[in-house]
Structure 1
């Protein structure tokens, strides 16, 4: 599955990846220790690559592939 990231936001338990097609994928924050232990300000300071396939948090040196995140998900998991 391929998707284009347009935004990332967080709540107390999840990282939510908003996709260009209007869907959103929720990932347990516990899957990403660097993000889980980061401050809200550090989490909000991220970049999306030009091709919308990578997420990067410079202060945390955390880099995530959108394709890799979405690959194990099926169509029923995305909202």
Structure 2
């Protein structure tokens, strides 16, 4: 089984994507301006698609494609 998104949580600076296998993966919250501007309650109201490839926040009309996010490598990132 491939790693699958099973939960999402936040702190003041990061979005944490909890995976079915392995540790949570963190991403800077400023990569997601809509989520950064959202209230805590809006961030907590999300759904994960049945295939675990989309995370959807219906109240703020935001969604994240998990495979695309996991495969993203910033140009200035190290190895």
TM bucket, shorter chain: 0.7 to 0.9
Higher-Rg member (1/2): 2
The alignment yields a C-alpha RMSD, in angstroms, of: 1.2
Residue 52 of structure 2 aligns with which residue? 52
Q: Is the 8 A contact 1:3 1:67 kept in 2?
A: no
Normalised to the residue count of structure 1, the TM-score between the two structures is: 0.86
Q: Which has the higher contact order (CA 8 A, sep 6+)?
A: 1
Which is richer in helix? 2
Residue 67 of structure 1 aligns with which residue? 67
Query: Secondary structure at 2:34's aligned position in 1?
Result: helix
4+ residue runs over 2 A deviation: none
Matches within 5 A, 1:1-79: 3-73=3-73
Structure 2 unaligned blocks of 5 or more: 74-79
Query: Secondary structure at 1:59's aligned position in 2?
Result: helix
Normalised to the residue count of structure 2, the TM-score between the two structures is: 0.86
Query: Secondary structure at 1:26's aligned position in 2?
Result: strand
Count of residues in correspondence between the two structures: 72
